[in-house]
């Protein structure tokens, strides 16, 4: 696919280090919830610096949305994205992605790994199909939780947080364990969607295997 240029319509910080960016949506540009695109900045020396980012809007929206964790210390694309303003341009390249909705189940995300689930869950909710899908969301502290209120409204008691670096009476504390998953997973014979950094995915797979969850139910993407 040749690159498509889109202008930024809106940008806002939704946590201390996560930026939500909305852009124009080219006519006929389609994606499935959970998919990502290679994205670059339309500025000299940046056009060929592509990085993968997930669409977090619903396919029915007339804009595209990205939810991007900024790493200033990398001095790379995300740092440069944090400096962009309304009217600046991005380039959309190939669309791809391993995570597609395959039925009601358990979603397990670490940090920005929640992004494929944002589009999937928003789409399900808008179609009245959110059912008992459950989101287990691992972060370091409360201030790292992306779209906390929206997930609470969408999923209610099926939105469960765990914090690794903050002990708080309203939240589970520690890393995602067999015990934690087993306590909140409604069924061991339904899909389990996992997205996050490679060490987290490795750990979750080990814990799921310990619970006896068949590995053919696993839908995963490494960030």
Ligand X SMILES: Cc1cc2nc3c(=O)[nH]c(=O)nc-3n(C[C@H](O)[C@H](O)[C@H](O)COP(=O)(O)OP(=O)(O)OC[C@H]3O[C@@H](n4cnc5c(N)ncnc54)[C@H](O)[C@@H]3O)c2cc1C
Which token pair is 106? 């358990």
**Residue with the CB atom nearest ligand X in the bound state:** 76
CB of 164 to ligand X, least distance (A): 17
Task: Name the residue nearer to ligand X (CB basis): 66 or 101.
Answer: 66
Residues 194-223 within binding reach of ligand X (CB under 6 A):
221, 223
Helix, strand, coil percentages (3-state) for the chain, rounded to 5, are 25, 30, 40
Q: How far is CA 165 from CA 162, 169, 203, in A?
A: 10, 13, 17
For position 93 contacting ligand X by CB under 6 A, the verdict is no
Region binding ligand X by CB under 6 A among candidate stretches 8-16, 51-59, 121-129, 204-212: 51-59
Measure the CA–CA gap between 212 and 71, rounded to whole angstroms.
37
Q: Of 29, 46, 71, 171, which lies in the binding site for ligand X, with binding defined by CB under 6 A?
A: 71
The edge-to-edge listing of strands for the beta sheet with 106-110 is 172-173, 159-163, 134-139, 106-110, 192-196, 218-222
Residue 116, phi then psi, degrees to nearest 5: -65, -30
Considering only the stretches 61-69, 140-148, 159-167, 186-194, report the one whose residues sit in contact with ligand X under the rule CB under 6 A: 61-69
Asked if 147 touches ligand X (CB under 6 A), the answer is no
- Choosing from 90, 112, 192, 201, the residue that interacts with ligand X (CB under 6 A) is 112
Under the binding rule (CB under 6 A), the answer on residue 78 touching ligand X is yes
Name, in order, each residue with C-beta under 8 angstroms of 60's C-beta and a sequence gap of 6 or more: 123, 126
Q: Which of 6, 8, 77, 91: binder of ligand X (CB under 6 A)?
A: 77
**Position 76 contacts ligand X (CB under 6 A):** yes
36 binds ligand X, rule: CB under 6 A: yes
Using CA atoms, how far residue 148 sits from 15, 34, 151, 160, 208, in Å, is: 10, 19, 5, 10, 25
> Is 144 among the residues that bind ligand X (CB under 6 A)?
no
Q: Please report, as ranges, the residues that interact with ligand X according to CB under 6 A.
A: 36, 51-54, 66-69, 71, 73-74, 76-79, 97, 112, 115, 221, 223
């Amino acid at each position: 696919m040749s690159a498509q240029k889109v202008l930024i319509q809106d940008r806002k910080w939704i946590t201390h280090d996560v930026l939500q960016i909305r852009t124009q949506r080219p006519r006929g540009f389609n994606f499935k919830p959970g998919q990502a695109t290679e994205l670059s900045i339309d500025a000299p020396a940046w056009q060929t610096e592509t990085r993968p980012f997930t669409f977090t809007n619903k396919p029915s929206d007339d804009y595209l949305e990205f939810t991007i964790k900024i790493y200033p210390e990398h001095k790379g694309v995300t740092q440069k994205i944090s400096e962009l303003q309304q009217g600046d341009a991005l380039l959309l390249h190939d669309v791809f992605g391993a995570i597609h909705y395959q039925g009601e189940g358990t979603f397990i995300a670490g940090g920005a790994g929640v992004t494929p689930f944002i589009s999937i869950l928003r789409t399900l909710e808008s179609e009245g199909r959110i059912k008992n899908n459950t989101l287990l969301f691992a972060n370091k502290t409360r201030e790292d939780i992306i779209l906390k209120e929206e997930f609470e409204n969408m999923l209610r008691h099926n939105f469960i947080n765990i914090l690794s670096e903050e002990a708080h009476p309203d939240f589970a504390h520690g890393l995602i364990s067999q015990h934690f998953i087993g306590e909140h997973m409604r069924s061991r014979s339904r899909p389990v969607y996992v997205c996050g950094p490679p060490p987290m995915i490795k750990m979750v797979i080990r814990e799921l295997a310990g619970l006896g969850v068949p590995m053919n139910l696993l839908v995963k993407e490494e960030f």
